[in-house]
Structure formats: C-alpha cells, structure tokens
Structure 1
C-alpha cells in the first residue's frame, strides 16, 4: 500500500511501481502534490497504487509532452478521407500550433483555450473558429483517453461566460433560391462561360442536391436514363490536385431525376462527346474552364459575337474568313458586334481545363450570375458585370474598357447564394413539396440513425410524387422565363423556351 512521507512543511504521497521502485503523487503538469495532512497524502498514494495494480497507471511526466509533439503523433495516427486529413492539417498548422504548440499538454488550461478562441473570433468568422475548437477538443479528448491529461480543457460548458439571449456569433442565414432563380442563374453562368456546361451543371445540382465534388466527379457512365448514380467525387486538395475518392460519408446513392433533366444531361454528353481526362483517365460529364477565362478580364469570344449579332458561330467565322459568302446586311451586323464587343481573333484560347476549380467556378461564374457583380480582386474593385443589353438578358462585354462599352448590367437574383446553397435549395423545395423524410435523406446522402428511420422505407409512389413536383416547378420556371423574353442567346435555353411554347 502507499504511504505518506513527511517533508519540511508538507506531506507527499508515495506508492510502489515495482520492486525497489516508487513513485510520487503528481498533478497533470508533473509537479509534486503537496498535502497538508498525512491522511490526505496516504489516500492519494493508495489510489495511485490501485491504478498501478490494475495496469491503468500512466506516467505523469507524459503530460509534459508539448501539444505540438502530440498533435503531430495524433495526426500521423489518423487514417481518414483525403479531404478530412487536409482540413485537420490546416486547422492544426494554421490555428492551433501558433498558440498551443510549445505548451505542455498538462499545462493547457480552459482559460487559455477561451482566450485563444476570443482572439480568433476578432479576426475570423465565428463558424470557422467553432470548427477549429472542435478539432482542438478532438485532439485533447484522445489525450485524455491515453491518460496523458485528466480532463479536456477545450470542452464547452453550456451557458458559462455568455450573455443571456441568442448567440451574437451566429453565422448569416443560409441563402436559397427557387426554381426561377435557378434557371436565371444557370442561364447567366452559361453566358459568362460561353457554353452549356455551366447551365446544365447548375440545374443538375439544384434538382438533385448533389455536392460540388460529386458534380465535378460525375462520370458519363453514371449519368443514366432517369437517374444519376453517385459513386465517386473529385475532391480538390490545397495543392490543386483533384483526388478521385468515394462520396462524403460513403453516401453512395442513386438519385432519381425527371425525364427532362435526364434528357438535358444525355444531350449534353452526346453533343460534347467527353473523352478520358489526362489526370484520371475517365470520361466526365463536365469540363472545366480554361485558366485564361477567369475574372471577366478576358477578351470576347466568337460565341459572344454570334449572340450579339443573333447569328450562328459559323456565320461569324465566315465573316472573318470568307466575307463574300455572307449577305451584306448580315456582314454589317456581325462587324458591328465585333466592334462593340472588342473581339480580337485568336485572343482567347479554345482549350478547356479537364475539371472546374472550386474557387474559380464560385468566384468568377456563379457569384456574378447570382449577384450581377464581379468580386473585388486587386487591382480592381468589385464591379457590375458589364453587358450589352440586347439580346436579353444581355451579352457580357469583355476585354479592354469593357465597362465603358457596356450599356447594361444584371440585377441581383440571390445575393449571398453559393454553389452549396443550391443543395440547401433542393432540400427546401422537397420540404415544400411534402416529400417524405426518408426519401429526402436518400437523395441528400444523409443518414438518419433514429429508431423511426429503421421502419421507414422509400416506395415507388414517393419517387413518382417527387419527380412530378420537381417537373411542375421546372415548367413554371420556364413559363415565367418565357414571359420575360421568348428567346435566349444561350442555345440550350432558347430550345427549352421554344419547346415549352404557349400554354
């Protein structure tokens, strides 16, 4: 059994570790605990000896290991998805190590964590800081499990140190949009990109709730008649590498799609004839944009001239190469469009990247489509997307003095909407249509662990009702768009408007 040992002004507890070897009761920082009475020292020593006999004893000195050293070992022991590993590494290296890296594990106090959190919130969004604290809590929780520290200083205590009322640090409300908003944003994205990929991708994301990586990683073999199969995603690492990996949380699923959406995707594949990409050797439904086509700084494209002059790209090509083959009035109209748009032959590369980049798509295609503004990017300030107003909804003006040559701009559709917001929009629409929760979870790739979910199953009737509801929303959006203008400079939209016809 343990015993108490008298020192000059205090008692210390001693306990047997092995034959001829004794330990001293210490706190989590490795300092000897000084007891005021012999009885307290004896009780603490007995307790430590019990842990030794049970094989649960841990050397208090291990609590002196620095947080940086332990976090490095902890990270190396993880075997998670590439996206999760990347996020953990970013959290540790950029936000945790600068504050706690040189501190002993046992020396990290709750007050240290709270002070760090307050300082981080003064510079970063509260939602981000919450994520970083969660990572810190996870690391320290594992340190507790290993017996290196006795408690987790990153644990949140409900209601302590907060003012009454709702949190002042709550994030902004998530922006969603309706079917018409989706259609208008998708049309604008196609006008900015000069092709149909962006239109079809935005519509597909809004009507299936697929994640961004699942859209980028959609292979042609999984775009089927009446459904889309989610088997893989392409996740973009900080290095720029796109990793082909399973969907988040292994959410493999088959998503039912209406016939009109299935036809849109199938016609797109037939028209573009995707070939295997050089990075993964697989054919994907969508291609990325070329690096020269970001930021709205690039020159006008051939398709922009065709849209402005309301002719085909072949006619524009003839005006440039064989003007004698084109009628005089058409040639004059094309040449006027060339002047207005500042088109320069050979000024824009025709090659596309194999895949979209998340930031490029969101910043230079989606955000301007949703808000009507290009974001701030040095040396330029935020500015409206410059347009020539005809044909409606306008043709983006590019190149030198684009703002000076423009005569219109877009009004906002859904300020603050992000590509991920389309996923929220899809869930909202399903709620509005009265879709059963079990079917909503299946489409979104969510897992409901409740008891009731074990007894609920998706039926064909549920699927049919949802597809009918989604088709109704789409047709209403097309009709509303047709009332704005019966034509569109985007070929795929123009065909849809003509096919819809008057009711």
Structure 2
C-alpha cells in the first residue's frame, strides 16, 4: 500500500504499482509533489494507487479522457431548470476548467481538489467556494456511475484536515432589522427611485418573506383581497432575459395578508395601472425602472423637484409648460428647486423597463437606502448619498456636482442588510411573536420532513394571532415614524401618516372625559 517518505521538511507520497515496486506521486508535468504533512502525502499515495489500479482494468481511451471533455459531455446531458443550468455553466467555465480542464479525469487526486479549494478561498467567499466544490462533487459522482473512476476526490471526509470545528467555514451572520427599519428603508428606496413602487415592494417583502424572484414575478391576478398567491417567479438569466419558472423547490403557497397590506398592494395596482409586459405578455404588480435610470442617481427627476418644492408633480409640469396657471409663490418655489437640483428638462426617462434588474435594485436602491452610501463604481469611490435636507428626510441630489450642492446625508439603518435579509427579518419577527413553526414553514415555503411535522396543521387561530401581531408591529412603526416627522415626500407613505395621525387624534378625543357633565356636589353619606 502507499506510504509517506520524509525528505527534509516535506514529504513525498509513494504508491505501489507492482509487488515490491513503488512510484513517487507526481503532478501533471511529471514532477514529484512535495507535501507539507505526512497525512497529505499518505492520502495522495492512496489516491494515486487507486488511480493506477483503475487504469489497469479499463479501456486506456477512457483513462485518458480529460476533465474538460467529460464536463462538456456531462453538461449537455443535463435537463434542468434554466437557472440551474446557468449556474452550473458559470461554475464549470469560471472556476473548475481553469484548474482541471486538461487533467485526465482519473488522474485528479483528493489533494488536487484540496489545493484548488485553498487557492479559491484566498480570493472568493467561503460560501461560494463550497458551492463550486459541490458542483465538482456532482460531476465526479456521475463519472463514478459511468465507471470512469471509483472514488470521488471532491468528497469531504468528516473532521479530516481541519484546524477547527464546524465554525471554521462559517459565513457572516445575516443582518436583519425591525418594523421601523423596514419602513424607513422602504421610504428611502422610494426617494432614491423617484416613485412609490419601491416603497410598496419593500414593505410587501418584509411582511411576507417572499423571495426576490417571487416579488418580481408577482402577477396582478395573484394579489388577492386577503392573500398573496405564490405561483411563479421570474429568474434573471445572464443573457438579460427573464425566465418565468415555478418558485424555488416548488414552494407554491398562499400567504395570508393583513387588511392594510392587501389594501396597499391593491391601491398600488389601481394607481399604476400595469400593462402586460412585452417579454411574457403577463401583467405584473411591479415594473422596473427606466433603462436610463438603472443606477438610480444619474440626474434630477421631475418628482425630485416636486418633493423639494413641496408641491405636486402636476404643479411642476404647469410651471414648465403653463406657468400662468400657477400662483406666484408656488412658481418661485418650483424655480428655486429646479435651480437647487439642476433639473434638466427632458432628462428623465419616461419609459419604464418591464422588470427590476436584481443588481440595479440591490446595488443602487436598497444598499444606499439601508447604509446611506452609494457603492464604489469607477472612477468614483464609495460616497454618502448627497441630500438636500428639506423636506425631511431629505431629497437626493443627482447629476454632476451633486455632493457640492448637498447639505445633508443619511445615517445607516441596518448596514449590510440585503433584499434577501428581509426574508430573514420576517422569519425573525414571526419567532419573536411566538408563531407556531408549522405556520412559519407554510409562510416561508419551507418543508419540514420530520415525523412530528406530519401531525402539525395550521389552525385559523394561528393565522389570526399572526395577522394581529404583524399589524401591531406595522402600527408601532407608523407611530414611531410619525413622531420623527408628520409628513413624507413619498406620497403613499404621506397618505398613511396622515390617516394614522387622524386615527390617533380621533381616539384621543373619544378618550377625553366630557367637560360638560353637571356637577352634583358632594355625595351625602348615610
């Protein structure tokens, strides 16, 4: 059997090729491989010995098939979802072929895979490298089924070669927020985009836990009076096209919606009047931003001027086209806002894209909303979102010299929060409310395969308690936002704040004792 041979401060692997005859483990160029530890040398020798024995029993042509040739054959034989095929193709072409393409499939050792993983970990996130190694593992498993190899060099052996326990490959903890954080994030995203769509989408995602593709692929017919039906998702391919496909893991489900959330979505649909998209011919609740606005901060928009001047967009349009219809005071305010923001007429894109782009939304709307910073993009470094401080919480300045004209910036809400983090947030909120696991799994689209889960069922009382709990969270967030400022430049939020303020005022009025009751004097004791 193979063994390790010590040479100075390193080891060579010696594999048995015939009785009493051993060869040193070599690389693809025939050069002996020095190993840092005795264990690595022994494992490499054992793998080389297995490869040698396999080669003696099989067709030499199969032994010489390279990884690249087999990977191409393997990929063409797959019949999976477009998203999965795209991911496999990216993993193979960008991360596996550069190291293994010209290697004979049977010559790849476990140590080769370990060295590749160590090299990738030095450049990429550990979670990504684990995903790529999993793809490599699947390819080798299928090669075993075809009889090309007998062992899987990408298989992990528990507790071997690790300096620490399971925490060694642990990724960063997911950032979550609370109800007020979701509300403020939604408001800022709407300010950055210049429309209400992003406000409604962020709130919907935070209070339902829907995946990003499910939000983008939500069709109007599935936004119902008391629920949201998850029937499809839109997956963005590398080609820029959107694939309409079932939700992840076939997690079809009906998500209960609070009355206020269902009304928020219904009013949004009634206000925007969405039309069928050109790519699928279906009507979706949300639409993308204009193609010229993919970054969300290139130039001032009409709505920015309206927010700065604290007037409607119709008033701004009248100032630009029919100034005689506008009072002098409003006209002066609008003209001053145009000067402050350096608004250029006709600069805003009038046509909206059919769907959101994941990168555009996450990078240029969501991330700046939660962190208060635009990301780095050559030639510009990362920088705070420049704002004109009035009206509160500020109007983003755009275009050339935006930072010089700004007089404020945002503080972080939950730095590091991602759109998918809202899904984690929703699960955390349900845990905090004491929601039963069976209802949480149904809402999130998760499957619990345990025996106990077969005996757990969702009862109406569970749904009612969750709806009441989420409604209280929403009302507390509105009250906290109302305490910060009584109005918002985002129209849909401004309407919500005014309604909430009116309800609070009405409640206080009913709770006050009546001042007109007649005084009857002291009660005479018997």
TM-score normalised per structure 2: 0.84
Task: Give per-residue Cα distances to partners, 1:411-430, cap 9 Å, x unaligned.
Answer: 00010111011111111111
Alignment-derived partner of residue 333 in structure 2: 333
Verify: 1:312 aligned to 2:309, yes or no.
Answer: no
Q: What is the SS of the residue equivalent to 1:224?
A: coil
Alignment-derived partner of residue 204 in structure 1: 204
Counterpart CA distance in 2 for 1:104 and 1:491 is: 63
Alignment-derived partner of residue 119 in structure 2: 119
Counterpart CA distance in 1 for 2:454 and 2:59 is: 46
Residue 61 of structure 1 and its aligned partner are, at CA, apart by 5.3
**Matched ranges for 1:422-433 at <5 A:** 422-433=422-433
**C-alpha contact 1:28 1:60 (8 A) present in aligned 2:** no
**C-alpha contact 2:300 2:344 (8 A) present in aligned 1:** yes
Residue 71 of structure 1 and its aligned partner are, at CA, apart by 1.4
Counterpart CA distance in 1 for 2:83 and 2:441 is: 22
Counterpart CA distance in 2 for 1:455 and 1:80 is: 33
CA pair 32-386 structure 1, distance change in 2 beyond 3 A: closer
Which of 163-172 and 480-489 deviates more? 163-172
**C-alpha contact 1:286 1:355 (8 A) present in aligned 2:** yes
**C-alpha contact 1:307 1:395 (8 A) present in aligned 2:** yes
**Matched ranges for 1:1-400 at <5 A:** 28-29=51-52, 59=59, 62-165=62-165, 167-400=167-400
Counterpart CA distance in 2 for 1:263 and 1:249 is: 29
Counterpart CA distance in 1 for 2:252 and 2:72 is: 32
Counterpart CA distance in 2 for 1:249 and 1:321 is: 53
Task: Give per-residue Cα distances to partners, 1:58-85, cap 9 Å, x unaligned.
Answer: 6575343211121112212221111111
Residue 146 of structure 1 and its aligned partner are, at CA, apart by 2.3
**C-alpha contact 1:30 1:60 (8 A) present in aligned 2:** no
Counterpart CA distance in 2 for 1:287 and 1:460 is: 34
Counterpart CA distance in 1 for 2:251 and 2:63 is: 39
Q: What is the SS of the residue equivalent to 2:51?
A: coil
Residue 316 of structure 1 and its aligned partner are, at CA, apart by 1.1
Residue 145 of structure 1 and its aligned partner are, at CA, apart by 2.2
Counterpart CA distance in 2 for 1:27 and 1:213 is: 46
TM-score normalised per structure 1: 0.88
Residue 296 of structure 1 and its aligned partner are, at CA, apart by 4.6
**Matched ranges for 1:403-422 at <5 A:** 403-422=403-422
Counterpart CA distance in 1 for 2:465 and 2:454 is: 22
Counterpart CA distance in 2 for 1:85 and 1:442 is: 28
**Matched ranges for 1:419-498 at <5 A:** 419-498=419-498
Residue 302 of structure 1 and its aligned partner are, at CA, apart by 1.1
**C-alpha contact 2:193 2:296 (8 A) present in aligned 1:** no
**C-alpha contact 1:224 1:262 (8 A) present in aligned 2:** yes
Counterpart CA distance in 2 for 1:76 and 1:326 is: 66
Counterpart CA distance in 2 for 1:114 and 1:127 is: 15
CA pair 446-496 structure 1, distance change in 2 beyond 3 A: same
Alignment-derived partner of residue 12 in structure 2: none
Counterpart CA distance in 2 for 1:216 and 1:87 is: 20
Task: Give per-residue Cα distances to partners, 1:344-372, cap 9 Å, x unaligned.
Answer: 11111211101000000001110000100
Q: What is the SS of the residue equivalent to 1:228?
A: strand
Q: What is the SS of the residue equivalent to 1:123?
A: coil
**C-alpha contact 2:291 2:349 (8 A) present in aligned 1:** no
CA pair 61-167 structure 1, distance change in 2 beyond 3 A: farther
**C-alpha contact 1:29 1:104 (8 A) present in aligned 2:** no
**C-alpha contact 2:179 2:477 (8 A) present in aligned 1:** yes
CA pair 10-128 structure 1, distance change in 2 beyond 3 A: closer
Counterpart CA distance in 1 for 2:347 and 2:164 is: 60
Structure 2 unaligned regions, length at least 5: 1-17, 22-48, 508-526
Task: Give per-residue Cα distances to partners, 1:430-470, cap 9 Å, x unaligned.
Answer: 11111111111111111111111111111111111111111
Counterpart CA distance in 1 for 2:194 and 2:167 is: 44
CA pair 148-190 structure 1, distance change in 2 beyond 3 A: same
Counterpart CA distance in 1 for 2:434 and 2:163 is: 38
CA pair 234-296 structure 1, distance change in 2 beyond 3 A: closer
Which of 83-92 and 297-306 deviates more? 297-306
Counterpart CA distance in 1 for 2:405 and 2:204 is: 34
- Between the two proteins, the alignment pairs up a number of residues equal to 459
Which of 440-449 and 142-151 deviates more? 142-151
**C-alpha contact 2:302 2:348 (8 A) present in aligned 1:** no
Which of 169-178 and 365-374 deviates more? 169-178
Residue 295 of structure 1 and its aligned partner are, at CA, apart by 2.9
